[in-house]
Amino acid sequence: MATSPATGRPGAAPTLPSPNGTAEPIMLELVDEGGATIGTAEKLSAHLAPGQLHRAFSVFLFDDAGRLLLQRRALGKYHSPGVWSNTCCGHPYPGEQPFVAAARRTAEELGVAPALMRQAGTVRYNHPDPASGLVEQEYNHLYVGLVRDTLAPDPDEIDETAYVGPRELAELRARGPFSAWFQTVLDAALPAVREVTGGTAGW
């Protein structure tokens, strides 16, 4: 079951079910410019303009042919609904290791465990989302790996998936919107992408 269910209402704060059945807000880890933890904030408030710098992660998984697994975010999501983005992205819970969070969310959203997943550095960015007015102020931990299992996407999180090479990615980007952060995180992860895909896939 997904841990950040879509509310279907722009601006509504995402929540987690608690043991007593009440909804608890999802908290993010605030960081300084060097990535050191300095506090916490509720998820939606951290994304309200001008945004608060917080810890995040982005995952790029590839099949054995070197094709990148993309997801199109569910239309009910409060942030960046209906746009294409990388394999998986999200936020660690306060105190949760980013690698653990990345593996957890990949399983929750896509129903698979990566066959391989390795660190690919970090990137810091500030990306407003024109559609929602929310702002991504993120210190993002990047992960690159391989996926071989059959996908079982959570429909609350994902409307569609696709495996693409560089040429197919360019064609897809020409047809419709991608997440505001996609190119930034892809560019930052490319050295590790080329190592994982072996250099023959064209990345």
Q: Which residues are known to be catalytic?
A: 89, 138
Query: Is residue 87 a contact partner of residue 68, using CB atoms and an 8 Å limit?
Result: yes
- Show the CA angle centred on residue 60, arms to residues 57 and 63, nearest 5°: 155
Residue 171 neighbours by CB under 8 Å, 6+ apart: none
Beta bridge partners of 37: 31
Instruction: Name the residue among 103, 123, 130 with its Cα closest to residue 49.
Output: 130
Residue 91 and residue 43: Cα distance in Å, rounded? 9
Residue 56 and residue 78: Cα distance in Å, rounded? 17
Structural tokens at position 185: 């995180």
Residue 181 and residue 58: Cα distance in Å, rounded? 10
Structural tokens at position 107: 């399983």
CA 188 from centre of chain: 14
Residue type at 11? G
